[in-house]
Structures are given as structure tokens and as C-alpha cells.
């Protein structure tokens, strides 16, 4: 029997998504369930290095080692290439990631967007 850990968790009004990790076999997977019914929701199957998950009103995104992968309720999937992402957040109409100390944002449903250099603190 393998034990698992929840590595990242986020929720919206009607679903919960989590990144689960199995330490014994060095494996991770993303699971999304509909709140109340526990129905399994669509998650892309080619996610191999998922660090975190962020759930918005219409899209969900996960942060991988070199990209963000996003999908919507119609199961449309796209990825946003990144270099060294550390944080991700999905909002109502856009997603943003901190990538090599640069804030990279893109409109949902698109991999194109803008980059803003973050000031030093």
C-alpha cells in the first residue's frame, strides 16, 4: 500500500483540485472533484512534474517545471511555456505566474500574454 501526501490544494465555488504525491514511487498526479457529489472531473493526463494547482471560475491551471498547463470546463487544454516558474494563480479572466522573478500573465484560453519584471525588495 502506498501512502500519499497532498502537495497543493485549491478550490472554487463548485470543485476542489489537488496535487497528490506518492513518495515511495516518486509519482504525482492531479485530481479534481466536484464539490458535493465527489464526481471526478477532467484533468489532462500528460502532467508529469506538477508542483501546484490553481482553480478559477472557468479554468484550472497547474504549474509544471517549465510550463503552466490550463484547461476549461469544455476540456480544452493549452500550455504556457515558462522558464523557472515558482508561483501560479488563476483569476476570473487571466492567469499569472512568477517566472524567473518576472510576473507573466496571460488571458485565459491563450498562451500569449505580458511579462512584468518584479522589483527587488
What is the pLDDT, as a whole number, of residue 109?
A: 74
Say what the pLDDT of residue 1 is: 43
What is the C-alpha separation between 51 and 48, in angstroms, rounded?
A: 10
pTM of the model: 0.83
Radius of gyration of the chain (CA): 14
Could you state, in order of their start, the residue ranges of all structural domains in the chain? Answer: 4-117
pLDDT in tens, 75-114: 999 989 999 999 999 988 889 999 988 898 888 876 565 5
Whether domain 4-117 has CATH 2.120.10.80: the reply is yes
In 10 A of CB 106, how many CB atoms?
Answer: 20
Q: How confident is the model at residue 119 (pLDDT cuts 50, 70, 90)?
A: low
pLDDT digits (tens, 9 = 90+) for 30-88: 999 998 888 999 999 888 889 999 999 889 999 999 999 999 989 999 989 999 999 99
Amino acid at each position: 500500500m502506498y501512502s500519499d501526501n497532498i502537495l497543493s490544494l485549491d478550490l472554487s465555488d463548485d470543485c476542489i483540485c489537488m496535487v497528490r504525491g506518492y513518495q515511495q514511487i516518486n509519482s504525482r498526479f492531479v485530481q479534481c472533484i466536484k464539490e458535493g457529489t465527489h464526481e471526478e472531473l477532467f484533468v489532462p493526463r500528460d502532467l508529469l512534474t506538477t508542483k501546484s494547482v490553481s482553480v478559477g471560475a472557468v479554468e484550472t491551471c497547474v504549474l509544471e517545471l517549465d510550463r503552466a498547463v490550463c484547461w476549461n470546463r469544455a476540456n480544452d487544454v493549452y500550455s504556457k511555456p515558462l522558464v523557472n516558474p515558482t508561483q501560479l494563480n488563476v483569476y476570473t479572466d487571466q492567469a499569472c505566474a512568477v517566472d524567473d522573478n518576472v510576473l507573466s500573465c496571460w488571458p485565459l484560453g491563450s498562451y500569449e500574454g505580458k511579462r512584468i519584471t518584479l522589483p527587488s525588495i
